[in-house]
């Protein structure tokens, strides 16, 4: 997941949001292939949104700060 200010992101194509609980964010996916595309706030602006970096054109993981979590704890 890569994080950007919402005004720096342009999502093209259709997505479907999955929303639950307190309804603060929508987790979007492609309705055709099911890939998770991004999450964004549904009300209050958090100042950032998450984008599936693997779907970005020319994304170079070695040029980004990467934090990996294995959930072993």
Cα–Cα distance, 73 to 63 (Å, whole number)? 28
Radius of gyration of the chain (CA): 13
Domain ranges within the chain, ordered by starting residue: 2-58
Q: What is the pLDDT of residues 33-49, one digit of tens each?
A: 999 999 999 988 788 99
Q: What is the pLDDT of residues 4-26, one digit of tens each?
A: 999 999 999 999 999 988 899 99
More confident residue, 64 or 36: 36
Cα–Cα distance, 57 to 70 (Å, whole number)? 26
Residue 31 confidence (pLDDT): 96
Query: In CATH, what number does 2-58 get?
Result: 2.170.150.70
Give me the helices (H) in 1-73, please.
none
**What mean pLDDT do residues 52-59 have?**
87
Is pLDDT of 71 > 80?
no
């Amino acid at each position: 997941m890569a994080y950007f200010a919402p005004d720096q992101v342009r999502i093209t194509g259709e997505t479907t949001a999955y929303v639950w609980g307190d309804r603060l964010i929508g987790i979007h996916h492609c309705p055709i292939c099911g890939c998770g595309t991004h999450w964004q706030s549904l009300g209050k602006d958090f100042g950032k949104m998450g984008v599936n970096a693997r779907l970005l054109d020319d994304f170079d993981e070695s040029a980004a700060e990467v934090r990996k979590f294995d959930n072993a704890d």
